[in-house]
Amino acid sequence: MEWIAAHSIKVRDLEDPALLRPALEALSLRLDGGKAAENTTRRKRMVLSNVLRYTVEEKGLLTASPLPRVDWTPPESDDEINFRYVPDPALARSLLGAVRDSGARGEHLHAFFGCLYYAAMRPGEIVALRESDCTLPPTHPRP
């Protein structure tokens, strides 16, 4: 705790916008120093804004939030999806068929990649997916 106290600035010192700018810059970086995704930066800035509002409204440590006084915009990111590289439905069916036909492991991965493409699920959601979670049409052949 002593180290944290020695290496932290006081909340009231945040009224100086120059001290807030490095915090905003840090929000736009990943832990490895690369640029964070735009949504990540926006979410972190919202959390910082909420913390500063809490220090004003609930704790009375600041007279006003200093965030609006800082002229800062997040850096542009290039994490947008380039739809030239997203397969169309026909190509996706072809790719999924090739995966399915590549053996026993391919049958398993066929379902995995199908969930990625058709349901836009995250890998962790797919791993946790169970047959009981699904509602299949009554005419669907059971495996």
At residue 56, does pLDDT exceed 70? yes
Closest Cα to residue 99, out of 86, 116, 85? Answer: 116
Are the CB atoms for 71 and 25 separated by under 8 Å? no
The two three-digit tokens of residue 53, written as one number:
């509002």
pLDDT of 81: 64
- Say how far apart CA 20 and CA 13 lie, in whole Å: 9
Averaged pLDDT for residues 120-140: 87
The residues pairing with 39 across neighbouring beta strands, listed in sequence order, are: none
Dmax over CA atoms of the chain, in Å, equals: 68
Which among 59-68, 90-99, 133-142 has the top mean pLDDT?
A: 90-99
pLDDT of 77: 66
pTM of the model: 0.54
